[in-house]
């Protein structure tokens, strides 16, 4: 069994002057839940369509299961897609929709029935065989689309923003469903989304894309805790960014002058002393302390009680800091207008070179 389900080798695809996918190289392992994360226009959907065979790259190679499929049309690839609008065949009932891929192969009627039944069982839609897609709810249509795509066990399943057309209410439910399906079938899933929360919670690994390029490839933990650049840091999760100047460094520990404060943070990249830098720190890594402690002295301007946590905005001079504090029994949330000091552990803050405004 080949461990590399999908390999993209320096793949590019342009539409006119727009480089939708720009020299992308990726390796997706067999049995992996892999996510392409990016906003619209980042090239994530085009990348998916290149794997599916709906687009042909201008340059580079696409390999599926170790075989070069660059020039192979979609119908010759052992890859199925769950489309954003589901694309269920409106004139066929649920059974015939799910049976579509099998019906193109030479299968006995009994074998076909058995496999369709198993697929419907897997998405918990047994008993809906005779319904037409128009008679199903959005969530049920979604599950038919999933069953139709996994019925003949493709090497790779591509999912194009499958949750975007669903109500927020059932989105969580379907998310669990998709994850469970992937665990049970062990099919390689390639999932496209613009939702960083989906990407973090569902993926084994993810690629953050922007402008047709992959900015970072890694586990959710890597991407969230060690963002490759400031864009990734801002796109995945929430973050505070503080501009300052690197005044000295020792190992990975850097000392930075921000406003009239001197603080310590971790160097994510080698940066020359004296350079203008930007410090990234997640709201949950900031600490609120009583006045008098070292750090940024400020005033709580907003206090939002979230149940499990409280979110604050603290104004310190020209800086606005977003702080997320987990609720603990016996503590009282800071009131708006309270004087506080904000500081952090140096390991939790990352230093990036200041790049041109983007």
Q: Is 105 in the site for another protein (CB under 8 A)?
A: yes
Cα separation, 200 vs 231, in Å, equals: 16
CB of 98 to another protein, least distance (A): 10
CB of 308 to another protein, least distance (A): 40
CB of 151 to another protein, least distance (A): 9
> Which of 145, 149, 195 shows the shortest CA–CA distance to 38?
195
Burial class for 343, CB neighbours closer than 10 Å (0-12, 13-18, 19+): middle
Cα separation, 122 vs 107, in Å, equals: 20
Nearer to another protein, 44 or 205 (CB): 44
CB of 150 to another protein, least distance (A): 11
Per CB under 8 A, the list member of 67, 104, 275, 306 interacting with another protein is 104
CB of 193 to another protein, least distance (A): 18
Per CB under 8 A, the list member of 100, 231, 241, 346 interacting with another protein is 100
Residues in the interface with another protein (CB under 8 A) total: 23
Residue with tokens 């269920």: 88
Within its chain, how far is the Cα of 274 from the centroid?
35
Distances (CA, A) of 44 to 41, 62, 159: 8, 15, 11
Cα separation, 80 vs 53, in Å, equals: 10
CB of 18 to another protein, least distance (A): 17
Nearer to another protein, 75 or 335 (CB): 75
Positions in 118-177 near another protein (CB under 8 A): 148-149
Helices (H), 59-108: 94-103
Per DSSP, the three-state class of 145 is helix
CB of 164 to another protein, least distance (A): 14
Per CB under 8 A, the list member of 20, 63, 101, 340 interacting with another protein is 101
CB of 54 to another protein, least distance (A): 6
Positions in 30-69 near another protein (CB under 8 A): 52-54
Nearer to another protein, 130 or 243 (CB): 130
Residues 69-105: b if buried by 16+ CB within 10 A, e if exposed: bbebeeeebebbbbbbebebeeebbbbbbbbbbbeee
Distances (CA, A) of 107 to 20, 134, 150: 40, 28, 16
CB of 55 to another protein, least distance (A): 11
Which one-letter DSSP state was computed for residue 70?
T
Single out the segment in contact with another protein by CB under 8 A; choices: 100-108, 233-241, 264-272, 348-356.
Answer: 100-108
Cα separation, 276 vs 12, in Å, equals: 34
Positions in 69-98 near another protein (CB under 8 A): 73-75, 79-81, 83-85, 87-91
118-124 contacts: CB < 8 A, separation 24 or more? 119/147, 119/148, 119/150, 119/151, 120/94, 120/95, 120/147, 122/147, 122/150, 122/181, 122/184, 122/185, 123/147, 123/177, 123/181
Per the document, the length of the chain is 358
Cα separation, 301 vs 316, in Å, equals: 10
CB of 85 to another protein, least distance (A): 6
Nearer to another protein, 140 or 285 (CB): 140
Cα separation, 10 vs 26, in Å, equals: 8
Residues at the interface with another protein (CB under 8 A) = 52-54, 73-75, 79-81, 83-85, 87-91, 100-101, 104-105, 148-149
């Amino acid at each position: 069994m080949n461990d590399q389900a999908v390999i993209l080798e320096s793949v590019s695809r342009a539409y006119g002057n727009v480089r939708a996918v720009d020299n992308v190289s990726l390796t997706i392992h067999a049995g992996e839940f892999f996510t392409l994360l990016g906003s619209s226009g980042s090239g994530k959907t085009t990348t998916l369509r290149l794997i599916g065979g709906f687009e042909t790259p201008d340059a580079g190679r696409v390999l599926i299961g170790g075989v070069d499929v660059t020039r192979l049309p979609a119908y010759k690839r052992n890859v199925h897609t769950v489309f954003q609008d589901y694309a269920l065949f409106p004139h066929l009932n649920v059974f015939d929709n799910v049976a579509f891929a099998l019906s193109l192969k030479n299968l006995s009627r009994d074998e076909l029935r058995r496999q369709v039944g198993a697929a419907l069982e897997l998405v918990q839609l047994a008993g809906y065989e005779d319904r037409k897609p128009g008679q199903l709810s959005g969530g049920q249509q979604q599950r038919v689309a999933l069953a139709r795509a996994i019925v003949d066990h493709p090497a790779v399943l591509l999912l194009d923003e499958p949750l975007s057309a669903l109500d927020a209410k059932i989105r969580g439910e379907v998310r669990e469903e998709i994850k469970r399906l992937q665990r049970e079938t062990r099919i390689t899933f390639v999932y496209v989304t613009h939702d960083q929360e989906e990407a973090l919670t569902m993926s084994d690994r993810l690629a953050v894309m922007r402008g047709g390029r992959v900015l970072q490839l890694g586990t959710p933990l890597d991407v969230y805790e060690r963002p490759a650049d400031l864009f990734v840091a801002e796109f995945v999760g929430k973050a505070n960014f503080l501009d300052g100047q690197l005044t000295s460094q020792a190992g990975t520990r850097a000392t930075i002058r921000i406003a009239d404060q001197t603080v310590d943070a971790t160097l994510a990249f080698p940066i020359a002393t004296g350079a203008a830098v930007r410090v990234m720190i997640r709201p949950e890594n900031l600490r609120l302390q009583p006045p008098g402690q070292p750090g940024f002295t400020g005033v709580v301007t907003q206090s939002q009680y979230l149940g499990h946590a409280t979110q604050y905005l603290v104004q310190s001079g020209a800086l606005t800091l977003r702080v997320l504090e987990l609720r603990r029994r016996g503590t009282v949330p800071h009131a708006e207008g309270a004087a506080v000091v904000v500081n952090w552990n140096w390991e939790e803050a990352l230093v990036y070179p200041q790049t041109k405004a983007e």
